[in-house]
């Protein structure tokens, strides 16, 4: 929670100042950060557009996505426009999602480049497109964590744990995460 949920919260609330009615595009929406971002964006009253493999679409709609895009068959920039805020959780290093997402933004819209910051090329492309781009780095924030915990305790936000490993199998857990297909989070348990 202090990493994944706080990242989701800070990108939407503190960095992008998302308001009700805004259109928010979230890439890698089914992952650890993504599934919180979908739920918080919905909680803020945004129109949520989520990219994920088709097997995750029904679940993401339960979490609050209004639209889902299968990134394995559809280029999201061909399907979405007029977006106010992009929370990019894939990044230019993998699928060039940062640069590609600039096309989906309305003039003056904001891309929050979460995985690897903003390269000079990305900054230049954003300026040329008339949109904004910002890097992001998670910071400790006890007050925000308390707010998030309240939402979870109230049943308004759920924490998805795809699989649990004992600590002795930490290597297998890492391999699982590195495959890049995680639904929600992977948990390591420590024996008493």
Ligand X SMILES: NC(=O)c1ccc[n+]([C@@H]2O[C@H](COP(=O)([O-])OP(=O)(O)OC[C@H]3O[C@@H](n4cnc5c(N)ncnc54)[C@H](OP(=O)(O)O)[C@@H]3O)[C@@H](O)[C@H]2O)c1
Residues that bind ligand X (CB under 6 A): 3-4, 7, 27-28, 30-34, 51-53, 56, 71, 89-91, 94-95, 114-115, 136-138, 177, 180-183
CB of 177 to ligand X, least distance (A): 6
Smaller CB separation from ligand X, 33 or 111: 33
Residue nearest to ligand X (CB): 31
Smaller CB separation from ligand X, 130 or 180: 180
Which burial class, exposed, middle or buried, applies to 6 when counting CB atoms under 10 A from its CB (0-12, 13-18, 19+)? Answer: buried
CB of 46 to ligand X, least distance (A): 18
Beta strand segments in the chain, E: 23-26, 47-52, 67-70, 83-88, 105-113, 132-135, 161-166, 185-189
Instruction: Look at the alpha carbons of 124, 126, 132, 134 in this order and tell me if their dihedral is positive or negative.
Output: negative
CB of 191 to ligand X, least distance (A): 25
CB of 136 to ligand X, least distance (A): 5
Residues 6+ apart with CB under 8 A from 171: none
Smaller CB separation from ligand X, 21 or 161: 161
CB distance 40 to 11 below 8 Å: no
* Pair of tokens at residue 167: 């600590």
Smaller CB separation from ligand X, 76 or 109: 76
Distance CA 48, CA 116 (A): 23
Going from the C-alpha of 6 to that of each of 40, 83, 101, 141, the distances in angstroms are 10, 23, 23, 8
Smaller CB separation from ligand X, 18 or 60: 60
CB of 83 to ligand X, least distance (A): 15
């Amino acid at each position: 929670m202090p990493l994944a949920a706080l990242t989701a919260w800070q990108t939407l609330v503190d960095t992008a100042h998302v308001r009700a009615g805004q259109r928010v595009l979230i890439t890698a929406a089914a992952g650890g950060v993504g599934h919180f971002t979908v739920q918080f964006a919905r909680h803020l009253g945004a129109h949520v557009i989520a990219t994920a493999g088709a097997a995750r679409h029904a679940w993401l709609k339960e979490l609050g996505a209004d639209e889902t895009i299968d990134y394995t068959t559809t280029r999201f920039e061909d399907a979405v426009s007029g977006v106010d805020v992009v929370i990019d959780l894939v990044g230019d290093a993998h699928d060039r999602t940062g640069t590609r997402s600039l096309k989906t933004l309305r003039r003056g819209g904001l891309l929050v480049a979460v995985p690897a910051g903003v390269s000079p090329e990305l900054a230049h492309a954003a300026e040329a497109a008339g949109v904004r781009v910002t890097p992001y780095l998670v910071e400790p924030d006890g007050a925000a964590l308390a707010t998030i915990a309240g939402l979870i305790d109230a049943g308004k936000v759920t924490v998805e744990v795809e699989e649990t490993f004992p600590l002795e199998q930490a290597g297998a857990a890492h391999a699982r995460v590195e495959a890049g297909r995680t639904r929600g989070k992977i948990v390591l348990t420590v024996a008493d």
